[in-house]
Structure 1
Amino acid sequence: MPTPRLLQEEVTTSDAITLVLEQAGIDMVFGISGGHTGHVFTALSKRQNSIRTVLVREESLAGVMAEVYGRLTGRPGVILGQGPWVLGNGLIGTIEALLSSSPMLLLTDLSDTPEFSTHAPYQSGTGEYGNWDARRSYGGVTKAVYPALQPAGAVQATQLAIKHALAGQRGPVAVLYSIAALAGRVGPDSVPRLYETQPYIPGPLPPEQPDRIQAAAQALAAARRPVLVAGNGVRIGQAFGPLQALAEAAGLPVVTTPSGKGAIAETHPLALGVFGTFGTPAANACVAEADLVLIVGSKMTASDTARENPALLNPERQVLIQIDVEPRNLSWTFPVDHPLLGEAGVVLSQLRDACPGGSRLEEGPARVEAHRAAHGFFDHPASRASGSPVMPQRIIAELQRALPPDGMVTCDAGENRIFMTHFFQTRQAGSFLQAAGAGPMGFAIPAALAVKLIHPERAVVAVCGDGGFAMTMNGLMTALENDLPIVVLVFNNHALGWSKHSRGPFATEFHDFDHAAMAAAMGCHGIRVRDAEELAPALTEAFACRKPVVVDVHTSLEVAFSDLVTPLAR
Structure 2
Amino acid sequence: MKASDLFVKALEAEGVEYVFGIPGEENLDLLESLRHSSIKLVLTRHEQGAGFMAATYGRLTGKVGVCLSTLGPGATNLVTPAAYAQLGAMPMLMITGQKPIKTSKQGRFQVINVVDMMRPITKYTTQVVSGDRIPSVVREAFRVAQEERPGAVHIELPEDIAAEHTSMPLIPASTVRRPLAEYKAINKAVEMIEQARSPVLVIGAGANRKLTSKMLTEFVAKTGIPFVTTQMGKGVLDETHELFMGNTALSDGDFVHRVLKAADLIINVGHDVVEKPPFFMNADSAKVIHVNFASASVDPVYFPQLEVVGDIANSIWQMKEAIHSQAHWDFQFFSKAHSAYLQHRKESEDDSRFPILPERFVKDIRRAMPKDGIVTLDNGVYKIWFARNYPAAFPNTLLLDNALATMGAGLPSAMAAKMVYPHKPVLTVCGDGGFMMNSQELETAVRLNLHIVVVILRDDAYGMIKWKQANMDFPNFGLDYGNPDFVKYAQSYGANGWRIESAEELLPKVQACLNEPGVHVIDVPVDYSLNDETLNSTIRERSRELQ
TM-score, structure 2 normalization:
0.91
Moved more, 396-405 or 79-88: 79-88
| Structure 1 position 535 matched with structure 2 position 523 | no
Q: Do the aligned partners of 2:432 and 2:459 also contact (CA within 8 Å) in 1?
A: yes
Aligned to 1:153: 133
> Is contact 1:251-1:362 (8 Å) kept?
no
**What is the alpha-carbon distance in structure 1 between the residues aligned to residue 102 and residue 533 of structure 2?**
54
Matched residue count: 534
Match of 2:481 in 1: 510
1:410 is the counterpart of 2:376: yes
Contact 1:387 1:533 in 2 (8 A): no
CA drift of 1:374 comes to: 3.0
Aligned to 2:528: 557
Residue pair 1:264, 1:430 contacting (<8 A) in 2 also: no
Give RMSD over aligned pairs.
Answer: 2.5
Distance 1:43 1:362, change over 3 A: farther
Q: CA deviation at 1:18?
A: 2.0
Correspondence for 2:190 among 217, 225, 228: 217
* Deviation of 1:171 (Å): 1.0
2:286 to 277, 295, 318: 318
The answer as to whether partners of 2:371 and 2:392 remain within 8 angstroms in 1 is: no
464-473 vs 161-170, greater mean Cα deviation: 161-170
3-state DSSP of counterpart to 1:140: helix
The 3-state SS of whatever aligns with 1:155 is helix
Q: What is the aligned partner in structure 2 of residue 250 from structure 1?
A: 223
The 3 A distance-change label for structure 1 pair 463 and 434 is: same
Q: Which residue of 2 aligns with 1:68?
A: 56
Shift of 1:482: 1.4
TM-superposed CA distance for 1:302, in Å, is 7.1
For residues 138-191 of structure 1, what are the alpha-carbon distances to aligned partners after superposition, in whole Å with 9 as ceiling and x for unaligned? 11211121111110113321111111112331111111112232111221xx4x
1:272 aligns with 2:260: no
Matches within 5 A, 1:428-507: 428-503=394-469, 504-507=475-478
2:366 is matched with which residue? 400
Distance 1:525 1:267, change over 3 A: same
- The alignment partner of 2:419 has SS state of helix
- Give, in whole Å, the separation in 2 of the partners of 1:327 and 1:114: 44
Distance 1:183 1:367, change over 3 A: farther
Distance 1:468 1:417 in 2: 12
Per the alignment, residue 371 of structure 1 pairs with 337
Give distance in 1, aligned partners of 2:170 and 2:399. 37
Question: What displacement does 1:214 show?
Answer: 1.1
Residue pair 1:273, 1:279 contacting (<8 A) in 2 also: no
Residue 286 of structure 1: how far off its partner (Å): 1.2
The aligned amino acid for 1:64 is F
Q: 1:47 corresponds to which residue? A: 37
- CA distance 1:67–1:377, change in 2 (3 Å): farther
For 1:183, which of 153, 158, 163 is the aligned residue? 163
Aligned-pair CA distance for 1:204: 3.3
| Aligned position for 1:20 | 10
Cα deviations by residue, 1:451-474 (Å, 9 ceiling, x for unpaired)? 111111110110110001111111
- Confirm or deny: 8 A CA contact 1:61 1:90 kept in the other structure: no
TM-score, scaled to structure 1: 0.88
- Partner in structure 1 of residue 154 of structure 2: 174
Cα deviation for residue 392 of structure 1 reads 1.5
Q: Which moved more, 1:262-271 or 1:31-40?
A: 31-40
Give me the whole-angstrom Cα distance separating, in 2, the residues matched to 1:248 and 1:553.
Answer: 40
Alpha-carbon separation, structure 1, partners of 2:171 and 2:294: 27
Q: Secondary structure of the residue that 1:227 maps to in structure 2? A: strand
Aligned to 2:472: none
1:347 is displaced (CA, Å) by 1.7
Judge conservation of contact 2:349–2:363 (CA < 8 Å) in 1.
Answer: yes
4+ residue stretches of structure 1 with deviation over 4 A?
A: 328-333, 360-364, 561-568
- Rounded to whole Å, the distance in 2 between the matches of 1:177 and 1:484 is 31
Letter in 1 for 2:113: D
Give the alignment partner of residue 340 of structure 1, picking from 303, 308, 315: 308
SS at match of 1:239: helix
Structure 1 residues 301 and 145: alpha-carbon distance in aligned structure 2, compared to 1, 3 A threshold: closer
Report deviation, 1:87: 3.4
Residue 98 of structure 1 aligns with an amino acid whose one-letter code is Q
TM-aligned CA distance change 1:108 to 1:237, over 3 Å: farther
Q: How has the CA–CA distance of structure 1 residues 330 and 213 changed in structure 2, closer, same or farther, with 3 Å as cutoff?
A: farther
For residues 473 and 280 of structure 1, the distance between their equivalents in structure 2, rounded to whole angstroms, comes to 36
Check whether the contact 1:35–1:81 (CA below 8 A) recurs between aligned residues. Answer: no
Gaps of 5+ in 2: 470-474
Q: Distance in 2 between matches of 1:301 and 1:155?
A: 33
> What residue in structure 2 maps to residue 294 of structure 1?
267
Partner SS, residue 220 of structure 1: helix
